[in-house]
Amino acid sequence: MMGKIVWVLLVVLLLVQAVLATDGVSVDRLNIWPMPHSVSHGQESLFLSKDFELNTEGTRYNDGSGVLKDGFSRLLDMVLVAHVVDGNFSKIDTSLLLQGLHVVVLSADDQLQYGIDESYKLSVPASGKPGYAYLEAHTVYGALHGFQTFSQLCLFNFTTRVIEIPMVPWTVIDQPRFSFRGLLIDTSRHYLPLPVIKNVIDSMAYAKLNVLHWHIVDTQSFPLEIPSYPKLWDGAYSVSERYTFADAAEIVSYAQRRGINVLGEIDVPGHARSWGIGYSSLWPSKDCPEPLDVSNKFTFKVIDGILSDFSKIFKFKFVHLGGDEVNTSCWTLTPHVKKWLTKHHMNESQAYQYFVLRAQNIALSHGYEIVNWEETFNNFGNKLSRKTVVHNWVLCGPLVIRFLVGSFLA
Ligand SMILES: *[C@@H]1O[C@H](CO)[C@@H](O)[C@H](O)[C@H]1NC(C)=O
Ligand SMILES: *[C@@H]1O[C@H](CO)[C@@H](O)[C@H](O)[C@H]1NC(C)=O
Ligand SMILES: *[C@@H]1O[C@H](CO)[C@@H](O)[C@H](O)[C@H]1NC(C)=O
Ligand SMILES: *[C@@H]1O[C@H](CO)[C@@H](O)[C@H](O)[C@H]1NC(C)=O
């Protein structure tokens, strides 16, 4: 009863928030998304000149690796949406033509990391430089967000066949509300080819998300090459449904160039049956293969090898160690593991804690901070490393949906 009222209230609050959020800035055909921190606009129109250019005068960022230039060329692609601009420009008053976007990035540093400044300011046209739009950001990644917003102000006019920016002058002042805006992909249950992952990353960039949470391996398959333990990817669905180590590095670099960090995950000790295809001693036994064998030193050597390899390519400060849905029965059902538990005076739940904490220490030794799924916190929260972020899902997942559906149906 109480729960029901709470959920109905929550739904009402969410609806009210959604209405408030769009109020005032829901302009005719244009919707900037996600809604910027602040927006104002006028009623005039400007047009993109045929050779709309990037201008970086006065910027401190040298763009040696072309992150900004590539972002600008993607911006043009987005704005054109593959249309041919064949309008008659001599009909447009030249004072209404935008020659380019003047971008000033204040910081020379292009390190992408958790908590960097992603804010930007966009004016169309620039004040004091009417032939240009002006974008200012602290980091190049803030500037990339500004490109997304700029692209959403542009539309291809099918009558005039030129790119129009209606409702100028625009002033957008924006910064994310949340420093972690993630999307999870699971390449263990479903292998995703590299171009598909890249499409996902592109669409994340459109929505200004900044963390790709890559749940790489699970019970079903182990698709990633681990140089330290080259038989692990024997657990892939097939020889072609795999990622080389260089593929993973490519994903990280592709994402980084779009302002997106990659959070790699290995989920231990449950959700890991596929590990034992290549190294069967990681299983308690063939008939009772999960969770990973807590009694075997080799288990932790492999985790160390994986995280050591990870640290060469996954430069995000967090690594995800899973830790959810651990059914420890196989540990007491398997004689050699049970013997080990007895010898170390541990019951199953203590061994679960022991495993998670030992894996945490390995991650810390490779310079990572840790994300663990909620169950670890629910079972031994006060024992977790202080460098742990607890990833809530039990109460935000199926249960909430069930409650919400329940409150509508009741
Ligand atoms: C473009 O517009 C100008 C001015 O209206 C006109 O003189 C010219 O013929 C047009 N050009 C084309 C290719 O339609
Ligand atoms: C396209 O341009 C025409 C002519 O200037 C204008 O009347 C019309 O409103 C524009 N269409 C849109 C969708 O902005
Ligand atoms: C836990 O694992 C044991 C051994 O594999 C199995 O018999 C049991 O059904 C599992 N329990 C749950 C709740 O899944
Ligand atoms: C395991 O041992 C601890 C410490 O003695 C105890 O608090 C806990 O209830 C035990 N758990 C189980 C599942 O037996």
Last residue of a domain, one of 132, 156, 174: 174
Q: Residues 44, 118, 265, 325: which is the catalytic one?
A: 325
Question: Which atom in ligand 3 lies closest to the alpha carbon of residue 327?
Answer: 1
Q: What is the CATH number of the domain that holds 151?
A: 3.30.379.10
Q: Is the CB of 326 under 6 A from ligand 3?
A: no
Q: Residue 8 has what pLDDT?
A: 33
Please check whether residues 186 and 168 belong to one and the same domain: no
**Which ligand is closest in space to the CA of residue 159?**
2
Q: Do 151 and 79 form a contact (C-beta atoms < 8 A)?
A: yes
For residues 199 and 157, state if they share a domain. Answer: no
352 and 382 together in one domain: yes
Same domain, 170 and 196: no
273-331 per-position pLDDT tens digit: 999 999 999 999 999 999 999 999 999 999 999 999 999 999 999 999 999 999 999 99
Asked if residue 406 belongs to a domain, the reply is no
- Per-residue pLDDT, 157: 94
Ligand 3 pocket, residue 327 CB under 6 Å:
yes
Per DSSP, the residues of 253-289 read HHHHTTT-EEEEE---SSS-TTHHHH-GGGSS-SSS-
Verify that 127 and 17 share a domain, yes or no. yes
Identify the pLDDT of residue 2: 31
Best residue among 344, 347, 348, 379 to mutate for probing ligand 4, ranked by most atoms within 8 Å of CB: 347
Summarize pLDDT for 21-37 with one digit per residue, the tens.
443 444 455 689 999 99
Q: Between 2-22 and 398-409, two packed helices, what is the crossing angle to 10 degrees?
A: 100
Q: Name the residue with the closest Cα to ligand 1, atom 14.
A: 88
pLDDT at 31: 82
Residues 136 and 218 in one domain: no
Our answer on whether the CB atom of 329 is closer than 6 Å to any ligand 4 atom is no
Packing angle of the helix pair 297-313, 348-365 (nearest 10 deg):
40
Q: Is 288 a domain residue?
A: yes
User: Burial level of 276, CB count in 10 A (0-12/13-18/19+)?
Assistant: buried
Biggest CA-to-CA distance, the chain:
88
**One domain for residues 337 and 309:** yes
Here the tokens at position 260 are: 């997106």
First to last CA, the chain: 10
In Å, how far are 16, 279, 292 from 276, measured between CA atoms? 50, 5, 8
Low-confidence spans in the chain with pLDDT less than 50 = 1-27, 407-410
Same-domain status, 141 and 223: no
Are residues 60 and 203 located together in one domain of the fold? no
Q: Is residue 52 part of a domain?
A: yes
How many Å apart are CA 366 and CA 231, to the nearest integer? 22
For residues 256 and 109, state if they share a domain: no
User: How far is Cα 122 from Cα 115, in angstroms, rounded to an integer?
Assistant: 21
For residue 328, tell me if it sits in a domain.
yes
Question: Would residue 2 count as lying in a domain?
Answer: no
d(CA 327, CA 274): 16
* Ligand 1 center to 89 CA (angstroms): 8
Strand partners, 183: 212
Residue 143 maps to a domain: yes
| Domain limits for position 271 | 182-401
Which ranges of 104-191 would DSSP assign to H, the alpha helix? Answer: 140-153
Look at residue 211 and tell me if it is in a domain. Answer: yes
Q: Which residue type sits at 356? A: V
Domain count, the chain: 2
136 catalytically annotated:
no
Could you tell me if residue 408 is inside a domain? no
**Which of 158, 174, 190 represents a domain boundary (last residue)?**
174
Q: Give the global pTM.
A: 0.90
Q: What CATH number does the domain containing 364 carry?
A: 3.20.20.80
What residues have CB less than 8 Å from 49, skipping those under 6 apart?
Answer: 89, 97, 98, 99, 100
Do 193 and 220 lie in a common domain? yes
Domain ends where: 174, 208, 226? 174
Residue 243 to residue 225: CA distance in whole angstroms: 6
328 plus 362 within the same structural domain: yes
Cα–ligand 1 centroid distance for 50 (angstroms): 16
